[in-house]
Amino acid sequence: MSTPYLEFLRAELAPGLMEGLWVSLVVIAPSALLGALIGVTAGVLRVYGPKPVRKLTEIYVSLFRGTPLVVQVFFWYFALPYIKIGGWSLVLDPIEAAILSFGLCSGAYQSEYIRGGLNSIKRGQIRAALALGMTTRQAVLNIVLPQAFRRALPGCGNEVIYLIKYSSLASIITVNELTGTATTIAKNTWRNIEVFCTLGVYYLVLVTLAGWLLRLLEDAMSVPGFERPRA
Partner 1 sequence: MSDLRENAPAVPILEARNLIKILGGNRVLDSVNMEIGRGRVKVLIGPSGAGKSTLLQCLNFLMPPDSGHILLEGREVNGKNRKELCALRQQVGMIFQDFNLFDHLSALENVRVALMKVKGMSKLDATERAIAELGRVGLKDKAALYPANLSGGQKQRVAIARALAMDPKVMLLDEPTSALDPELIGEVLAVIRDLAQGGMTMIMATHQISFSASLADEFMFMEKGRVVEQGSPAELLGRGSASRTQAFCAKISELTGEAGDGKSGGECRL
Contact set with partner 1 (CB under 8 A): 122, 124-125, 127-135, 138, 142-143, 146-147, 150, 223-226
Give me the helices (H) in 121-191, please.
Answer: 123-131, 136-139, 145-166, 178-189
130 close to 138: Cβ distance less than 8 angstroms: no
- Give Rg (Cα) of the chain: 21
Nearest distance from residue 187's CB to partner 1, in Å? 52
CB-wise, 131 or 213, nearer to partner 1? 131
Nearest distance from residue 130's CB to partner 1, in Å? 6
Nearest distance from residue 55's CB to partner 1, in Å? 24
Q: Is 85 helix (H, G, I), strand (E, B) or coil?
A: strand
CB-wise, 14 or 130, nearer to partner 1? 130
Chain centroid to CA 205: 17
Q: Is the dihedral of CA 43, 110, 18, 72 positive or negative?
A: negative
Eight-state DSSP code of residue 81: G
CB-wise, 138 or 174, nearer to partner 1? 138
Nearest distance from residue 37's CB to partner 1, in Å? 21
CB-wise, 87 or 124, nearer to partner 1? 124
Alpha-carbon distance of 196 to 192, in angstroms, equals 6
Nearest distance from residue 125's CB to partner 1, in Å? 6
CB-wise, 74 or 226, nearer to partner 1? 226
Alpha-carbon distance of 4 to 6, in angstroms, equals 6
